[in-house]
Each structure stands twice: as structure tokens, then as C-alpha cells.
Amino acid sequence: MTLTAELDALLQPASNPQTGATQAQRLHPAVPRGWEEGVRYEPTGSMVVTAPPAEQPPASEADWRARVEAMGLVIPEGFRVRLTEARHDPAAWHRDAQGEDAVTRAVWRCRYVIEPAEAAWLSAGDVDALVRDAMRRRRKPRTAVDTAERALVVVYADAQAGKVGRDGGTPELVARVAERFDRLEDHVRDLKAIGRGPTAAYWLDAGDCVENVENTAQQAHTNDLAMTEMVRVHRRITFEGLDRLAGRFDRVVAATCGSNHGRVRRNREAVGPPSDDWGIEVLSQIADAYARNESAYGHVSFVMPERWRETVSLDVVGTIVGLGHGHQFARPEKAIDWWRGQTFGRQPIADADMLITGHFHHWRAQQVGNGRLWIQAPTLDNGSDWYTARSGEVSASGLLVFSVGPDGWDDLRIL
């Protein structure tokens, strides 16, 4: 027979009288896909081992280890062998010895994982032991009060001085604010009593400090103050609030933002840049007055929007707090979309961890993104009767306060 003929004969399938297997099958017994013998190393450090087929099923953990070690693998110290899959194959091709024909014989195909030994908490027995041990752990010492910087944030929003509503007029507004200032002093004492006394204070005026006379036609008939009187009332209230903080804290920061009621208007239309705002002007007047007495008020600083901006941001003990009135979006549900757009536009509140807004006269908070927080501040005004008539909703007045420390914000209350 020539060499060519011998090659042709080898390439032709030949039947086995016992099994019907071809010559190629006898040379290479069939193995199901995915069950090829070998080791796969995982990024976690564990090893997935596919062992050779065996006639007997795996019996115990010692048997698992023996079958893996029979492949020449060494089990590292601190690791264990665990059976993850065992499959019975009743008609597997099998060759008893090299050179012998393959026959069908039932085998077990097994896969193991070599992994770090059982976690310590699992070896304790059960989940009950885990919970018990965790609850009995010794508490870590709390950070000393005198070494942790903490800031008190006071949000004064929507007082709308001069407005008359269901809850009264200017006398009722002034009395309400004075009572909230008294509660603020109680709140500071409470924080000190529990070891979380603030070391600095931030006064955030969220806008709409006056009712104005140009926003709507009805203001000419519902206000109880003239425009200059509204500004005067707001200025004196702000003086009082800042004086209380300045006399108690070594560092005080006062900030405000542009708003719709505070905006200087003519025939209901805004005039001038966004900084043409009564709230911004009042805070500027107070800054001028404090600058005349450095010994008493040198520790008080002021933050106001740039000429063409309506918002500001402040670094409060490592947390960036943004301040905007909220009239820039039509509904409170749109606040997050607006904030997201401001971030894309690299506006002053782009990097804020917290955003404080007013305008909508009710308390609300929502966590968004990766830990960012939007807080809608409650109002201090005499009531929004037009909104109640339209919706049936009645907003409760209040002075929003919270603290900011090394671990973020806490101690949020409505006074």
C-alpha cells in the first residue's frame, strides 16, 4: 500500500464492533463542552478546578481534596476545597488504558473551587451569633466636642414683610419671627447639652424677604406697609437675627440670593440685573454697618450673588451648600432637573452637596445623585391664601435649622 493510500485509510471512519465508535472517537473520547479538565484562576484569588471523570461520586470534603491534589495541585494554607457541581454522565466515552479502545461507561464529572477558608463570622454558627456579637461590641470613643468643627445653619425664607393673610399682618409676622428666634436659642442650648454644640453659624436668607408692590395687582390692596417700610422691617429683623448669632459664635457667615418678590420691578417686570434685589440690598446695608464696628462684628462675613447671578455656594465645614430662591422652576418637582442643568452649565451651585431653596412655602427634602440633598425650606409669612384657595393645601410656617459637621449634616429641625 502506498503512503497516500495509508493516509486515506486513516482518514476514513471505521466502526467499532462493540460500541459503533469511529476511529477518531476512540482516539479522542467525547467531552461535553465546558467540562474539559483544567484550572481557571479567578481575580479574587480562588481557583475553579474541573477534575477528570470518576466512576464514583464525591463522598466527603477529604475526598474532594484528594481528587484535586491527584491533579498535581497544592492547596495553599488557609484555603479549602469546595464541591460546586457534580454531574452524572451515564454514557460517557472512557478509555481504560492508553492504546485500548474507548467504551461507554457511567462516570461522574465534578467541578471544585479552591477558596479562602470560611469567614470568621460564619464559623460562629449562625446569623444569630453574628447579630449578638455585633450588638455587644465596644463603642468607639466619640470625637471630642472641642476638636470637632460644627456649623449651625439657619434658613430664613419667604417672610414677605408687608403681606397680609390668614395669619395676620406685620405685627403677627414680627411676633412669629421673634418667637422662632427664641426657639433658635433653645435649640443651640440643646445641641450643647448633647455634645454637638456648633462652633460657627451660617445665616442663609432664601429670598422673598418683602412682599413688594409690583408683583401682582392685589398687592396694592392687601399690603399693610409701604415699600420702604417693608425693607425697613426686613432689615431690622435681619439685624436682630445676626446679632443673636454674632454674640454667641466666633464665626458667622450671612448669605442671600435673588428672588421674585425681592426683585426691583416696574409694572410687574424686573428691571436691572439680577442683583437689583431688595434682599441683596438689605444684606449689603448690614455688611456696611458691621464694617463700621470691627471690634464687635469683625468675625461676621457676607456672601452675595455676583451681579448677573441669582445663586451662591458656601463651603460649610467641608460640605458645599448651595442657596437659590426657587422661582427659576415652575413646580417643586422640577427642582432636581433645574439643579442638574445648573451643574452642566457650571453655575455657582454646580458643585453643591446640598441645595437650599425657598419660594414654594412648604418643607420638603429629597436625596438625589450620589448623596446630594435638596431641601425646600418652609415659609415664615402670614399664609398663601391664593394657593390654599386653588389647591386646598395649607403650608405651616417655620424656621429651618440644621448642623453640618465632619460627617455631613444632622440635627435638622423646623422651629
Q: Same domain, yes or no, for 194 and 159?
A: yes
Q: What is the pLDDT of residues 190-221, one digit of tens each?
A: 999 999 999 999 999 999 999 998 888 888 78
Q: What is the mean pLDDT of the chain?
A: 86
Q: Same domain, yes or no, for 210 and 271?
A: yes
For the chain, what is the domain count? Answer: 2
For the entire predicted model, the pTM comes to: 0.69
Flag whether pLDDT at 12 surpasses 90: no
Q: Same domain, yes or no, for 327 and 178?
A: yes
> Does residue 135 form part of some domain?
no
> Does residue 128 form part of some domain?
no
Going by C-alpha positions, the residue among 32, 198, 212, 214 that lies closest to residue 107 is: 32
Distance CA 415, CA 411 (A): 12
Q: Same domain, yes or no, for 62 and 157?
A: no
Flag whether pLDDT at 234 surpasses 90: yes
Q: Same domain, yes or no, for 324 and 379?
A: yes
Cell readout for 41 is 484562576
Distance CA 231, CA 262 (A): 10
Last residue of a domain, one of 72, 106, 122: 122
Tell me what pLDDT residue 121 has: 52
Mean local confidence (pLDDT), 81-91:
89
Q: What is the pLDDT of residues 165-179, one digit of tens each?
A: 889 999 999 999 999
Distance CA 175, CA 388 (A): 23
In sequence order, what are the residues at sequence separation of 6 or more whose Cβ sits closer than 8 angstroms to the Cβ of residue 240? 178, 181
CA within 13 Å, CB half, 200: 17
> Does residue 141 form part of some domain?
no
User: Which range has the worst mean pLDDT, 77-81, 151-155, 241-245?
Assistant: 77-81
Q: What is the pLDDT of residues 280-298, one digit of tens each?
A: 999 999 999 999 999 999 9
Pairing of strands 300-303, 312-316: unpaired
| CATH at residue 281 | 3.60.21
How many angstroms separate the Cα of 331 from the Cα of each of 236, 270, 323, 326?
32, 21, 17, 9
Q: Same domain, yes or no, for 51 and 183?
A: no
One-letter amino acid of 358: G
Classify residue 112 as left (phi > 0), alpha (psi -120 to 50) or beta: beta
Q: Same domain, yes or no, for 220 and 340?
A: yes
Q: Same domain, yes or no, for 118 and 156?
A: no
Tell me what pLDDT residue 268 has: 87
Distance CA 31, CA 36 (A): 7
> Does residue 56 form part of some domain?
yes
> Does residue 338 form part of some domain?
yes
- Determine which helix (DSSP H) or strand (DSSP E) holds 187, and give its type and residue range: helix 170-193
Mean local confidence (pLDDT), 313-329:
95
Tell me what pLDDT residue 393 has: 74
> Does residue 165 form part of some domain?
yes
> Does residue 129 form part of some domain?
no
Q: Same domain, yes or no, for 37 and 168?
A: no
Q: Same domain, yes or no, for 29 and 99?
A: yes
Q: Same domain, yes or no, for 62 and 153?
A: no
List the domain range (segments joined by +) for residue 327: 149-414
Distance CA 69, CA 61 (A): 12
Q: Same domain, yes or no, for 117 and 218?
A: no
368 confidence band (pLDDT: 50, 70, 90): very high
> Does residue 144 form part of some domain?
no
Q: What percent of the chain has pLDDT over 70?
A: 86
Going by C-alpha positions, the residue among 295, 312, 199 that lies closest to residue 251 is: 199
